[in-house]
A = this chain, B = another copy of it.
Amino acid sequence: MDMIKNLTNVRGIKCWGAHTGIKSLRRDLAIIYSDVVASAAGVFTQNKVTAAPVDLTKKHIADGKAQAIVINAGNANAATGEQGRKGAEAMAQTMADELGIDKELVLVSSTGIIGEPFPTDDIVEGIKENAKKLSKKSNAGSFAANAILTTDTYPKEGFTEFDVDGYEVNMAGIAKGSGMIHPNMATMLAFVVTDAAIESGLLQSMVKEAVDKSFNMITVDGDTSTNDMVLVLANGKAHNDIIKTEQDPGYDNLKENLEEMMTHLAKQIVSDGEGASKFIQYEVKNASSIDTARKLIREISDSTLVKAAMFGRDPNWGRIIGAAGNAGIPFDYTKTDLYIGSDKNQVKMLDQGVPQPFDRNMMKKLLRESHIHITLDLHQGEAKAVGWGTDLTTDYVMFNSVYTT
């Protein structure tokens, strides 16, 4: 019985996750390996300060090819200077040696504490010991999903199978965000593998678009880390005709599934907010452009006033409109309809900017739900966007005032 499908259910993919000693008791080293060279694409942190593994992986993925990803948790290898740069190189070189592949086919990723010397020896030793354990068994996928976590309270995973031009394609992903208790360690990592065949340049643009719709539309605390990284491998083992253009059959379905996978993983990251009490979905409809819609969502979902109001079950449309007005884009609230409610039932609070009467008791009840939906209809165009965030709780503030260095 194949009770949980994960990375190992993608053709040609083996993985493993192990404890090497960087973290005291938890798994801290994950390996994902494709038995053939795969098309590879990546999206990296926009933070000006980038960690050593980000720099190295950008270099190795430049040719659009990769065969292995090795990830350690517990030490971010950021702000580690030359020692860290050598450590990232050693990770890639050791992995390559153990697998008998070119070093440039290995992508590396790290998450954890920033600014501490990178434990290169331990990790090199761990890679040597664990490379031979790469496996297609279901547990190996769970091990990998858990080995990339830091303060996350549960692993983020997804698996789906779908049709590409008549061929059955598998896709699986893992991700990590962070409990909100230590936002300074809130590196976001995601790794997706599929056996679809697609040309790497096209994969890169597809990945970029999917990240813009998913990981870039979530907010936990508004910061990006030095280590954020989303990597996708497509190894072609599904044997569909290689997708080379957006017009090729299967392109649309692959793209849609990649977006759904990333959205699924991104929403799990948001929902893992120990200090948060609510998961909030924001939707902006009928905007003049997608860019406008996204900017509005980011501004609203990052607003501490809006977030605190949601914690207090206060349908404070004024703060939402206020935040929207701060987005630095043309926004006419007199044309805007605003809805607030649960995921099942939303109440129109503004009709073309005019406040609507509403049942306060019912609204309080709706906002007691753990999933809140807020929708703005701009009546300005046809673009729309969706994003996800949390509320701001007294717990969050308490955690982050108590647990500091």
Contacts and interface: CB of A to CB of B under 8 A. Distances in A.
Interface string A245-276: 00000000000000011001001100100100
Interface of A: 1, 3-4, 17, 19, 25-27, 132-133, 135, 137, 139, 142-143, 145-146, 151, 153-155, 157-160, 179, 181, 260-261, 264, 267-268, 271, 274, 368, 370-371
Contacts of A370: 133, 135
A155 B158 contact: no
Contacts of A157: 3-4
A264 B1 contact: yes
B159 A3 contact: yes
A372 to B, nearest CB: 13
Contacts of A27: 153-154, 274
A154 B160 contact: no
Given A139-B268, A368-B132, A1 B160 contact: yes
B4 A159 contact: yes
A154 B155 contact: yes
Nearest to A343: B137
Contacts of A153: 19, 25-27, 143, 146
A3 B154 contact: no
A3 B158 contact: yes
A371 B25 CA distance: 23
Contacts of A181: 25
A139 B1 CA distance: 23
Contacts of A158: 1, 3-4
26 contacts: A1-B158, A1-B260, A3-B157, A3-B160, A3-B261, A3-B264, A4-B4, A4-B157, A19-B153, A19-B274, A25-B179, A26-B153, A132-B368, A133-B370, A135-B370, A137-B371, A139-B267, A139-B271, A142-B154, A142-B155, A142-B268, A143-B154, A145-B154, A146-B154, A154-B155, A155-B155
Contacts of A274: 19, 25, 27
A215 to B, nearest CB: 16
A133 to B, nearest CB: 5
A72 B143 CA distance: 24
A19 B180 CA distance: 12
Contacts of A155: 142, 146, 154-155
Nearest to A270: B139
Contacts of A25: 151, 153, 179, 181, 274
A45 B261 CA distance: 41
A366 to B, nearest CB: 13
Interface centre among A1, A179, A181, by most chain B C-beta atoms within 10 angstroms, is A1
A50 to B, nearest CB: 27
A137 B135 CA distance: 31
A121 B154 CA distance: 25
A137 to B, nearest CB: 7
A398 to B, nearest CB: 11
